[in-house]
Structure 1
Amino acid sequence: MDLVKILSERYMKPELPEMNVGDTVRVTVRVKEGNRERNQAFEGTIIAKKHGGINETITVRRISYNVGCEKVFPVHSPSIVSVETVRKGKVRRAKLYYIRNRVGKQAKVKERL
């Protein structure tokens, strides 16, 4: 059991910002197209955090061209360049799946000061 923990700790990222559900984050991902590589940012609200340790994932939702778009990012993946918190959200739930059914101002999360 300790061997698995030791092996997984070696691949975990040590310098992650504090991310909570409701926060707006900008996730920069390394995208490989053919033989070229570039960094692409995805900015949205964290609506869920799952698992823990090396398997930790965040679900980020944003609206682009009036269509909701969600992506699940493994936090400790080597393809993720950086995660930065843009603004803190004030929420009272662990999962914000109800935001999927909201439109416009109702879908906003209040800012924590």
Structure 2
Amino acid sequence: MNMIEQIESEQLDKLAAGRETPQFAPGDTVKVQVKVIEGTRERLQAFEGVCIARKNKGLNSSFTVRKIASGEGVERVFPLYSPNVATIEVVRRGDVRRAKLYYLRGRTGKAARIAEKTDGYSGKLTAGERAAASEAKVAARAAAMAAAEEKTKEK
């Protein structure tokens, strides 16, 4: 490994340790929180759309997000490890068979829709979150049943 690759891998490890980047692919709907500086103020601006491309080149990795704003298609390229990208959230998983979805540029309305992936691996919740949610649901049911039993005993 030459010197440049070694330095890049060290920087990549440092940047990856500082933030959590979700697994996402082209076709997924993502919400990117971008830091915007206006004068002395700094705020977060959300950009939600379909990821149409990913470029995996180490430190220079980037992804392209496309959304329709006021009837016009807007695309924005985000560097994956940029300090201006605060968070990336996967809103929905898309079921596509291409790595680059540039064909969406020529489509509007219903023709530009992407089917949602429905396999067990693509759910919005992880297995641990699903287990916690089901336990909470069971506990809520048990509490409701206990309250109903107390009401019937009072009568």
Asked if Structure 1 and Structure 2 have the same fold, meaning a TM-score greater than 0.5 normalized by the shorter chain, the answer is: yes
Following superposition, the deviation at residue 11 of structure 1 comes to: 2.6
Q: Which has the higher contact order (CA 8 A, sep 6+)?
A: 1
- Residue 52 of structure 1: how far off its partner (Å): 2.6
RMSD: 1.2
Deviation at 1:65, TM superposition (A): 0.5
Q: Which residue pairs with 1:94 in the alignment?
A: 99
Matches within 5 A, 1:1-113: 1=2, 2-12=6-16, 13-113=18-118
Higher helix share: 2
Question: Runs of 5+ in structure 2 lacking a partner?
Answer: 119-155
Greater shift in the superposed pair: 57-66 or 3-12: 3-12
Q: Secondary structure at the match of 2:31?
A: strand
- Rounded Cα–Cα distance in structure 1 between residues aligned with 2:37 and 2:23: 28
Highest Rg: 1 or 2? 2
Partners of 2:11 and 2:83 lie apart in 1 by 15
Aligned length: 113
* Corresponding residue of 2:148: none
**CA positional deviation for 1:14:** 4.5
Q: Deviations over 1:47-100 (max 9, x none)?
A: 000133221101000001000000000011111110000000000000000000
Shift of 1:103: 1.2
Secondary structure of the 2:11 match is helix
Distance change in 2, residues 1:17/1:63 (3 Å): same
Report the TM-score, using the length of structure 2 for normalisation: 0.69
Q: Distance in 1 between matches of 2:53 and 2:74?
A: 14
Which runs of no fewer than 5 residues in structure 1 stay unpaired?
none
